[in-house]
Amino acid sequence: MPRIPHTSPQTLQLFEALLDDPQRWRYGYDLSRETALASGTLYPILMRLTDQRLLETGWEPSDEPGRPPRHIYRLTTEGATLARQRLAARTTSSAPITQTRPAGGLA
């Protein structure tokens, strides 16, 4: 059965971080520190979400002369909606499974 898009543990971690304040612009480096995702994992997810128009991106000039501008990200309205749906689905699908055993012995 194919995986539902945007449900990898790494993508869900990123969604949680971005939903903390969906309107705030975030640097990739800050998201990496917050989620503990390596750049080789984080940036492909950011690019994929941007290509799917789930993230807005922009460039912020550096405060330090000679430093390049920094890329910034935030969820679009559609991205925030999808992120909430995926996180809610994870919560309901990860509810503990309880098994009952027959009285008086092992199952």
Give the per-residue pLDDT at 96. Answer: 45
**Confidence check: pLDDT of 99 > 60:** no
Which CATH fold would you assign to the domain 9-92?
Arc Repressor Mutant, subunit A (1.10.10)
The two beta strands, 70-75 and 55-60, are antiparallel
Q: Are 73 and 53 in contact (CB under 8 A)?
A: no
Report the pLDDT value the prediction gives residue 1, as an integer from 0 to 100: 55
Q: What's the angle, vertex CA 46, arms to CA 41 and CA 49, rounded to 5?
A: 125
Place of tokens 């128009």: 53
Laid out side by side, the sheet with 26-27 consists of 26-27, 70-75, 55-60
Rg for the chain (alpha carbons), in Å? 19
Q: What is the mean pLDDT of residues 5-16?
A: 92
Backbone angles phi, psi at 72, to 5 degrees: -125, 155
**What pLDDT score was predicted for residue 3?**
62
For residue range 49-92, what is the model confidence (pLDDT) as tens digits?
999 999 999 999 988 889 999 999 999 999 999 999 999 998 77
- pLDDT score for 24: 94
Evaluate the CA torsion angle 8, 14, 28, 30 in order and state its sign: negative
pTM of the model: 0.79
Percent of the chain with pLDDT over 70: 83
Of the chain, the percentage scoring pLDDT greater than 90 comes to 69
Q: What is the pLDDT of residue 4?
A: 74
